[in-house]
Amino acid sequence: MNQALLLPLSLYIHFPWCIQKCPYCDFNSHAVKAGIPEQAYIDALLADLRVDLALVTPSRPIQSIFMGGGTPSLFSPQAIQRLLLGIQEQVLLTPDCEITLEANPGTFESAKFKAFRQLGINRLSIGIQSFNDPHLKKLGRVHSAAEALKAVAIAQQAGFDNLNLDLMFGLPDQTSEQALFDVQTAIDLNPTHISFYQLTLEPNTYFHRFPPKLPEDDTIFAIQKNCQQRLAAHGYQQYEISAYAQQGKQARHNLNYWQFGDYLGIGAGAHGKISQALPEKIIRTIKPKSPEQYLKQAKAKHQTIAIEQLPLEFVMNHLRLKTGFNLADYVAVTGLGVESLEPALTQCLQQGLLVKNQQQISCSEKGWDFLDVVLEKFIVL
């Protein structure tokens, strides 16, 4: 049997509109100016999915759906319902399919989120970033700390018992005490999952052109370690660089990315990865970024991952996970032999950046802190 057919298959759906563009955001998002063309966009998504499904074997079911953005929660429940029904007309979903919707606190209404839950959306990810009003203002967020707390309450009252909260650290003028307050506030709300990641100044963002004054590197490192200890003490185990979950509540969709599974990507600027035959035909799909071009159903780009790039592609994802990867899984998922990881694997083991336990390869504490150094060794020039 073709090993590619055994890989899990997920679906990512991109919604490119936001209330306003945040100064740190490098995602494909656009401020709403004259309303959202909901129905036309749903039509385009379903047409896009139909084209992508031709790349995969019909018998492969979808195990997770992630609606990201932008701000998907700007769309009406009626539009999302038509989208989900249209998806199920085209492809089989697993009975326990994880369906995640990203939402921002500024878009929360009780009736709307009850409707989202009734549609079968069973996981919510709320972009809070901070519970500190001055920090939220500096980040360009449209909500306040009080609105963030209210949003979580609305989500829980609507029946969302699988809930992720996004938090950022290393914010302009942020102290360790303020970061710990944010983390403790999130913990007290008892979400199942917390994403906790560092503010970085990405190219093509307002913050990159006009950098704010961020804490010193030593301060940021101390903030990270202190907050990680607090999360662990309350049962939020780190399983990925920026992901912390209660027992059994890891994000299945994101795990599929990091374990080099397959995923369809529909929507403006969405990316996908489909394995048709290993190792010679693993395809990346890239959709037009402009919503206007996407609505005109402009042609997607298809790129085949070069065989010599597969080792880097695989480890770049897997080494984000605390558990790392098994050498047998590497062979099964890429179609390559273990020798294709050399000489980088041996170098990293000798330098104490990676550790090997039987056939399991993972980062050491040193390698975890210097993951970029590890990955550079797998780059083929």
Q: Write the CATH number for 34.
A: 3.20.20.70
Q: Could you check whether the bond before residue 77 is cis, i.e. omega within 30 degrees of 0?
A: no
CB 56 within 8 A of CB 4: no
Give the whole-angstrom CA distance, residue 34 versus residue 44: 19
Q: What is the mean pLDDT of the chain?
A: 94
Give the whole-angstrom CA distance, residue 216 versus residue 267: 38
Closest CA to 186 of 125, 240, 231: 231
pLDDT at 1: 46
Give the whole-angstrom CA distance, residue 322 versus residue 82: 38
My answer on whether 239 and 358 are in the same domain is: no
Structural domain harbouring 124: 3-256
- In a domain, residue 170? The reply is yes
Closest CA to 122 of 87, 163, 94, 153: 163
pLDDT at 21: 87
pLDDT at 272: 97
DSSP3 helix / strand / coil % (the chain, rounded to 5): 40, 25, 35
Question: pLDDT category, 107, cuts 50, 70, 90?
Answer: confident
Which residues, 6+ apart, have CB-to-CB distance to 33 below 8 Å?
none
% of the chain exceeding 70 in pLDDT: 98
Domain end (from 192, 222, 256): 256
SS3 28: coil
275 pLDDT more than 50: yes
My answer on whether 115 and 22 are in the same domain is: yes
Q: Which helix (H) or strand (E) holds 292?
A: helix 291-295
My answer on whether 235 and 372 are in the same domain is: no
- Look at the chain and report how many structural domains it folds into: 2
Question: pLDDT category, 355, cuts 50, 70, 90?
Answer: very high
- In a domain, residue 215? The reply is yes
Please report which residue ranges of 54-175 form alpha helices under DSSP H.
77-90, 110-118, 133-138, 145-157
My answer on whether 238 and 324 are in the same domain is: no
- In a domain, residue 296? The reply is no
Question: pLDDT category, 3, cuts 50, 70, 90?
Answer: low
pLDDT at 26: 84
182 or 299: which carries more pLDDT confidence? Answer: 182
Domain end (from 256, 291, 326): 256
My answer on whether 244 and 330 are in the same domain is: no
pLDDT tens digits, one per residue of 25-61 = 888 888 888 889 999 999 999 999 999 999 998 889 9
pLDDT at 4: 57
My answer on whether 232 and 368 are in the same domain is: no
Q: Which helix (H) or strand (E) holds 249?
A: none
